[in-house]
Structure 1
């Protein structure tokens, strides 16, 4: 199937590593030009080199999505160089998977930090690209959230991801008549470059081995293992394409099938 992404102009935040980088590479493999956005210049340049190596235009832009002026400047640069934006993938967020504070230890500042990057950061990026998408007659926005939206265990994680889902539906309803589709993808724990250190830390804390930690996480999924960043990116890339027009305002889980949960 041709996804119809050849020549499309995509902006991917959080693109220097993890799921964001996998999405950038996936879009490039489908022929899209990709503006990669992140805070770490060295990592960003390395990622852009990989994307550009696939034969498309790669534009690395250093920007912090917690800064509205920086977000607007980033979008202005992409539009100035490429003439518009067809796709936005919001994937910039503080990493999940670390120690979860109890209620008594969860500070207001920690909650604000969760919202500043993931919820408000996604809003800022959508707000900056939306006028360009509306003016050109359409586009696609995909927000990478997380399965913490559907389960307890982390107050901050659940609240921020539920907020992203609510943001997504509101954007879809407002922008849909102008041809802009907006969806949210909920990954679970995903195999990225962070996983070896995370499993090692959990193994030490639980007096077990990293392999046993991995097996326990895998047993909680229908596929028996954690999905890779590339497998999550495949879902995101499809939702970025014109082929996904029938899906908007909805959430798509990409965690390998959480056992026991029923969503309808």
Structure 2
């Protein structure tokens, strides 16, 4: 089998959470380009319908399912709908998550509700989707789980309690999946994306003017998709419980984002 043949995902079904925009959309489209049919999940119906249409333009089947991944029942229904529609589930990409109310607050100001929402959105969601998917993967004789963490999961951040804690937990959750289900031919690995273009203007300004990355730029969507395809393909069958970081060298530079570059250009610049 050639390397390019090994990257093909023809006949496989992928479920991507947080697929309505940004990195989730980039991974969904990359999986479709490699041959997978894709189920797109997020809270916004309009956004995931747009992603699903882009998948169909690549000649693959697609399904858009509005889902709040912080809710256990909706995650279970999402997986069951995927299997009911396509007859199988081969690839689960747990990408949904992000900053929630309370992000940026000092610890003593965070409410119980803010804490639980942040953990449920960024960590419990991964547990819910994996718990629902694992029985199907076992029955099929294997599959791939790709969980999305963050550099903050390795080094923390000032006033970053729920998000950083959840993303750190995802890494060891992924390793535990790998150790527990390797005998069922299930591979679970983790991606750490660095800073990528963002539609939030405040984040864009932060990236343009203040975040220091050794490579001097943020990532490009097309640089993340291939990593997801590799982890979803047969070429990664012997990789399990690993963490792949795509972040321009920021982790190698250490925690303090200072002194490396005066300005970070966005890709189009």
TM normalised by structure 2 equals 0.86
Counterpart selection for 2:197 from 186, 191, 194: 191
Query: 1:121 is matched with which residue?
Result: 125
Structure with more helix by fraction: 1
Query: Unaligned stretches of 5+ in structure 1?
Result: 203-212
Q: Which residue of 1 aligns with 2:228?
A: 236
Describe how 1:50-61 pairs up with structure 2 within 5 A.
50-61=54-65
Q: Distance in 2 between matches of 1:107 and 1:151?
A: 23
Say which of 77, 80, 104 aligns to 1:76.
80
Residue deviations 1:199-244 (CA, integer Å, cap 9, x gap): 34x4xxxxxxxxxx52542xx3232211123322221221111111
Q: Which moved more, 1:38-47 or 1:24-33?
A: 38-47
Task: Call closer, same or farther: CA 1:107–1:188 in 2, change over 3 Å.
Answer: farther
Worse-matched range after superposition: 65-74 or 21-30:
65-74
Question: What does residue 175 of structure 1 align with?
Answer: 181
Equivalent positions of 1:1-264 (< 5 A) are 1-2=4-5, 3-95=7-99, 100-153=104-157, 154-194=160-200, 196-200=201-205, 202=206, 213-214=207-208, 216-217=210-211, 220-258=212-250, 259-261=252-254
Give the distance between the partners of 2:20 and 2:156, measured in 1 at CA.
29
Deviation at 1:197, TM superposition (A): 4.0
Do 1:45 and 1:60's aligned partners in 2 also have CA atoms closer than 8 Å? yes
1: distance between equivalents of 2:208 and 2:103?
17
Q: Which residue of 1 aligns with 2:260?
A: none
Provide the C-alpha distance between the structure 2 equivalents of 1:95 and 1:51, rounded to a whole number of angstroms. Answer: 27
- Bigger drift between 220-229 and 171-180 goes to 220-229
Q: In the superposition, relative to structure 1, how do residues 70 and 152 fare at CA in structure 2: closer, same or farther (>3 Å)?
A: closer
Residue 156 of structure 2 contacts residue 165 of structure 2 at CA under 8 Å; is this kept in 1? Answer: no
- Deviating above 6 A after TM superposition, structure 1's stretches of 4 or more consecutive aligned residues are none
Instruction: State how far apart, in whole Å, the 1-side matches of 2:210 and 2:229 are.
Output: 29
Q: How many residues align?
A: 247
- Asked if the contact 2:137–2:186 (Cα under 8 Å) also holds between the matched residues in 1, the reply is yes
8 Å contact from structure 2 (residues 99, 163) kept in 1: no
On the 8 A contact 2:103/2:163 being kept in 1, the answer is no
Deviation at 1:138, TM superposition (A): 0.7
The superposition leaves residues 117-154 of structure 1 with CA deviations (integer Å, 9 ceiling, x where unpaired) of 12110111111111111111110000011110122322
Please give the secondary structure, in 1, of the residue aligned with 2:217. Answer: coil
The Cα RMSD (Å) is 1.9
User: Is the 8 Å Cα contact of residues 17 and 43 (structure 1) preserved in structure 2?
Assistant: yes
